[in-house]
């Protein structure tokens, strides 16, 4: 693991222990505001990017590399890990998925892609991923890395989730 990634992981483990302390107090919500302030404090060029339904996304620049640090609840992170395992078991999807570098209890780190894909690339990826039962593949969740478009966030369609529960 690169030195910059190691520093980010160490900081995230520290923040994990802080969040654990917060959760033990009995509060239901995660300290998202405090985490936002901490990331900008620990990382010189760290800033809040966006949020999804469950995730809060932060941009971090370490040396020459750019990363995305995603913060979510421990339960949602476990689901994210399972989803990644299923994606990595399908070769066609594995090649078009931006895999995370590592996980902690509440965070995971991914490469950051600035460029958005073309409409044709989005259409191709959306069709491919839909054929395997994955939804939420849209232009916002696809980035270009070294000239190749990759999905940075996907979720299973409801149809697939219901089928798994029956089995």
Helices (H), ranges, 2-157: 3-24, 32-42, 74-88, 91-94, 119-131
2 and 71: one domain?
A: yes
Per-residue three-class SS string for 86-122: HHHCCHHHHCCECCCCEECCCEEEEECCCCCCCHHHH
Q: Which of 92, 102, 90, 76 has the alpha carbon at shortest distance from 155?
A: 76
29 and 106: one domain?
A: yes
Q: How far is CA 8 from CA 1, 28, 63, in A?
A: 11, 26, 12
pTM: 0.83
6 and 65: one domain?
A: yes
The predicted structure's pLDDT at residue 4: 81
2 and 36: one domain?
A: yes
Q: Using CA atoms in the order 156, 81, 70, 109, what is the torsion angle rounded to 10 degrees?
A: -130
158 and 106: one domain?
A: no
- Total count of domains within the chain: 2
Residuewise pLDDT in 10s, the chain (167 residues)? 677 888 899 999 999 998 888 877 766 677 888 888 888 888 888 889 888 778 899 999 887 888 999 999 888 999 889 989 999 999 999 999 998 999 999 999 998 888 889 999 999 999 999 999 888 888 888 999 989 999 998 887 765 555 555 54
User: With contact defined as beta carbons under 8 Å apart, do 142 and 151 qualify?
Assistant: yes
The predicted structure's pLDDT at residue 167: 47
Q: Phi/psi class of residue 136: alpha, beta or left (left: φ > 0; alpha: ψ in -120 to 50)?
A: left
Q: Does any domain span residue 125?
A: yes
128 and 156: one domain?
A: yes
Q: Does any domain span residue 93?
A: no
Which residue range(s) make up the domain with 28?
1-76+100-112
């Amino acid at each position: 693991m690169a030195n910059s990634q190691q520093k980010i992981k160490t900081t995230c483990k520290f923040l994990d222990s802080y969040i654990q302390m917060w959760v033990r107090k009995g509060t239901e919500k995660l300290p998202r505001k405090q985490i936002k302030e901490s990331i900008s404090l620990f990382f010189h060029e760290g800033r809040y990017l966006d949020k999804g339904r469950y995730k809060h996304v932060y941009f971090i620049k370490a040396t020459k590399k750019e990363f995305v640090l995603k913060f979510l609840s421990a339960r949602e992170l476990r689901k994210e890990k399972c989803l990644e395992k299923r994606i990595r078991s399908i070769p066609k999807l594995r090649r078009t998925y931006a895999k995370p570098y590592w996980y902690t209890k509440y965070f995971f780190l991914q490469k950051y892609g600035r460029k958005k894909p073309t409409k044709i690339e989005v259409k191709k990826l959306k069709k491919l991923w839909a054929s395997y039962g994955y939804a939420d593949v849209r232009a916002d969740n696809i980035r270009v890395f070294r000239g190749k478009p990759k999905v940075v966030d996907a979720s299973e369609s409801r149809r697939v989730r219901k089928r798994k529960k029956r089995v």
